[in-house]
Amino acid sequence: MSTQVATLGEAHPRQYHGLLDWLTTTDHKKIGIMYLVFALINGWFGGSLAGLIRLNLYNPDWHIISPALYNQLMTMHATIMIFLVLMTSFAGLGNYLVPLMIGARDMAFPKLNAFSFWIMIPAALMLYGSFFIAGGAAQGGWWSYPPLSSLQYAPGHGEDLWILAVILLGIGSIMGAINFLVTIIDMRAPGMSWTKLPLFVWSWLVTAWMLLLALPVLSGAMIMLLSDRWLSTGFYRPALGGDPLLYQHLFWFFGHPEVYIMILPGFGMLSHIIPAMSRKKVFGYKGMMVALWAIGVIGFMVWAHHMFTAGISGAARMWFSMASMAISVPTGVKIYSWLASAWGGVIRFTTAMKFALGFIFTFVIGGLSGLMLAVVPFDIQVHNTYFVVAHFHYVLVGGSVMTLFAGIYFWFPKITGRMLSEKMGSWVFWLFFIGMNWVFMPMHLLGIDGMSRRVATYRPEFKPMNQFISEGFIFMLIAGLLFTYSILKALTQPKDAPDDPWDTQAIERSLEWETASPPPAYNFAEIPQIR
């Protein structure tokens, strides 16, 4: 026994410093921070692409950006935002918080955890590098539908690099999912039964399950796409008896769960933030948990609502319409439960809470448009128009990004030991909230009025609205700058955050608030026992 104690006493037999420390770390907290920093950097790249897109659309006659480059920007904006920003930042917060919340010292496979992060770097290099090769980056949209992504219509090698990068990112995500699943199943502190699991951990369990089952299908579809390009196989080539529509089925079998992968951890975070800021316990814990699983299961049965106009059969349209509507029910349960969590509370309007309540507003709008899109006769009217662009930006920017802001403001003190400026935070919130609604709300109208998505130019009647939208982007840009400045400024200050800055003592709280801010390398001096 004495030797074992000694072993733990030197918990770091080889301790590196500086850069080497970060390169070799297997500490879930450091990996989580790297994920978050990486996501912020990519957020700036992806956001800049959005800025260029809005600049080009400011006037249909400017043609500042060639249509080919426009398609590259649009494709990469989506790819970066989805794979390198949203998934990455949720993975970062999940990495940081899940072991803390379940009272563990690390993930189940700390080295695999580091691998999941590092594998993103070559993928990102391939994605960004593809801008600089002949023919430029991939131009087929993030769906990369064949035949547009086939060798015949996309002869440039950006498409090849894109496919390889997506497969690499898939490998990392699958490994991450396995790690989360095993960690949550096996490494809970003694006494932490399933019904005592914090909701953020539940949300990551469901997310990991969706990642595990959805991403391999994308990899399979991508391998077939690549072999069509490289080996002249006939998977998606009608001339050889293949079918491009099948790619769409495979892609959206991944693609729709992916949408929930990008929002469920956010749901989980809100279930911590809203009760904490209302000084109340979360309302309907079991309902919240069941709703997460309902989304995690039904989410696999709705994929073809992305294909309502692709010529699928009437019966399929009916089924997918019903299933897509059904998924709004658990989502609604969550919205109402959050409102009930705040009901009767004593609410502190911190920045985190502002983002959380702002999220409810924007996400409900995104949910409403989503419900409407599940009604096939309506969907046919606006499918692949700016209405859909508005819808998914409401759920991804108004949904996921707002929860991320809320989560960062809430847990930043825990992660860094420093408080973010609430004064600047208020500005970040209002600028972002106004800018986000300014940009995306009019897109609903543009879509209903008949402006197609993914276009580099448009009919003259859409010009005033597009100019209005592009102007709103400035608000989001300033919010982003201010947010980044706020983080950098906080990092230069001395560590002043208490262990529990939000005073969650009064309500039930998850375990991360029980340890120091920032937590020591081993998280807890003693593994907590939960009664």
Partner 1 sequence: MNWAMIWLFQSAQQAMQAAAEQGAAAPTRNPFDAPGSNVARLAAAESWHAFLWVIPFILIAFILLVVVMVRFRDKGDGRQPAKFHENNPLEFAWTVIPAIVVALVALHSYPVLHFMEYGGNNPAVNVEVIGHQWFWEYKYPQYGIDISNDTLVLPANQVVDLDLTSVDVIHGFYVPGLGIQEDALPGRLTNQWFKAQAGYYKGQCTQLCGVNHGQMLIDVQVVPDNEFQAWLEAHRSQPALPAPSARLHLPGGFMQYRAAQKGINQ
Partner 2 sequence: MEPTPLTTSSTLTSGALAAKPAGAAAHLDPHLHAPVPSFWPILLAGGIGAVFFLVFLVYLGVPLAGVLLAAAALYSLVAAAGWANTIAVERRLMDRLQTQKDLTRGFFFFLASEAMIFFAYFEYIYYTRFTGSVWPPAGMPKLETSLPAVATLILVGSSFTLNFAVKAFLRGKQAAAKNWMLLTIAMGIVFLGFQGFEWGYLNGVMSFTVTTGAFSSAYFIMTGFHGAHVTVGLLMLSLVYWRMEKGEYNRDYHMSLMAAEYYWHFVDIVWILLFFTLYLF
464-483 positions binding partner 2, by CB under 8 A:
none
What are phi and psi for residue 385, nearest 5 degrees?
-110, -175
CB of 213 to partner 2, least distance (A): 5
Cβ distance 479 to 439 under 8 Å?
no
Does 34 engage in binding with partner 2 (CB under 8 A)?
A: no
The rounded distance, in Å, linking the Cα atoms of 358 and 426 is 12
Report the 10 Å Cβ neighbour count for 445.
Answer: 14
Work out what residue 321 binds among partner 1, partner 2, none; the CB cut-off runs from 5 to 8 Å by kind: partner 1
Q: Of 105 and 463, which has the nearer Cβ to partner 1?
A: 463
Q: Of 60 and 122, which has the nearer Cβ to partner 2?
A: 122
Does 302 engage in binding with partner 2 (CB under 8 A)?
A: no
CB of 365 to partner 2, least distance (A): 31
Cβ distance 168 to 119 under 8 Å?
yes
Q: Which tokens sit at 236?
A: 């998606």
Q: Of 256 and 418, which has the nearer Cβ to partner 1?
A: 256
Q: Helix axis angle, 386-395 relative to 422-448, nearest 10°?
A: 150
Three-class DSSP category at 116: helix
Q: Of 28 and 272, which has the nearer Cβ to partner 1?
A: 272
Cα Rg for the chain, rounded, in angstroms?
A: 23
Does 511 engage in binding with partner 2 (CB under 8 A)?
A: yes
* Opening angle at CA 124, ends 121 and 128, nearest 5: 140
What are phi and psi for residue 472, nearest 5 degrees?
-65, -25
Work out what residue 230 binds among partner 1, partner 2, none; the CB cut-off runs from 5 to 8 Å by kind: partner 2
The rounded distance, in Å, linking the Cα atoms of 358 and 430 is 9
Work out what residue 174 binds among partner 1, partner 2, none; the CB cut-off runs from 5 to 8 Å by kind: partner 2
CA-to-CA dists, residue 264 to 274, 296, 299, 358, 511, angstroms: 15, 9, 11, 17, 20
Strand partners, 137: 158
List all residues 6 or more positions away from 14 whose beta carbon is below 8 Å from its beta carbon.
none
Does 495 engage in binding with partner 2 (CB under 8 A)?
A: no
CB of 227 to partner 1, least distance (A): 18
Q: Of 139 and 515, which has the nearer Cβ to partner 2?
A: 515
One-letter identity of residue 431: L
Give the one residue of 205, 224, 307, 476 binding partner 2; rule: CB under 8 A.
Answer: 224
The rounded distance, in Å, linking the Cα atoms of 135 and 55 is 23
CB of 103 to partner 2, least distance (A): 8
Give the one residue of 43, 47, 110, 345 binding partner 2; rule: CB under 8 A.
Answer: 110
Peptide bond preceding 147: is omega within 30 degrees of 0, i.e. cis?
yes
Work out what residue 491 binds among partner 2, partner 1, none; the CB cut-off runs from 5 to 8 Å by kind: none
Work out what residue 454 binds among partner 1, partner 2, none; the CB cut-off runs from 5 to 8 Å by kind: partner 1
Q: Which tokens sit at 234?
A: 């006939």
Tell me which residue has tokens 């998977």. Answer: 235
Stretch of 195-203, 341-349, 358-366, 447-455 lying at the interface with partner 2 (CB under 8 A) = 195-203
Q: Of 154 and 261, which has the nearer Cβ to partner 1?
A: 154
CA-to-CA dists, residue 530 to 192, 195, 354, 505, 512, angstroms: 6, 12, 32, 16, 14
Work out what residue 276 binds among partner 2, partner 1, none; the CB cut-off runs from 5 to 8 Å by kind: none
CB of 526 to partner 1, least distance (A): 29
CB of 207 to partner 1, least distance (A): 22
Work out what residue 219 binds among partner 2, partner 1, none; the CB cut-off runs from 5 to 8 Å by kind: partner 2
Q: Which of residues 125-184 bind partner 2 (CB under 8 A)?
A: 125-126, 157, 160-161, 164-165, 167-168, 171, 174, 177-179, 181-182
Q: Which of residues 232-261 bind partner 2 (CB under 8 A)?
A: 232-235, 237, 240-243, 246, 249-250, 253
Q: Of 186 and 461, which has the nearer Cβ to partner 1?
A: 461
Kind and range of the H or E element at 76? helix 67-79
Does 196 engage in binding with partner 2 (CB under 8 A)?
A: yes
CB of 245 to partner 1, least distance (A): 6
Give the one residue of 60, 141, 220, 287 binding partner 2; rule: CB under 8 A.
Answer: 220
Q: Which tokens sit at 297?
A: 């299961």
Handedness of CA 131, 488, 38, 390 (dihedral sign): negative
Does 104 engage in binding with partner 2 (CB under 8 A)?
A: yes
What are phi and psi for residue 272, nearest 5 degrees?
-95, -40
CB of 29 to partner 2, least distance (A): 9
CB of 139 to partner 2, least distance (A): 17
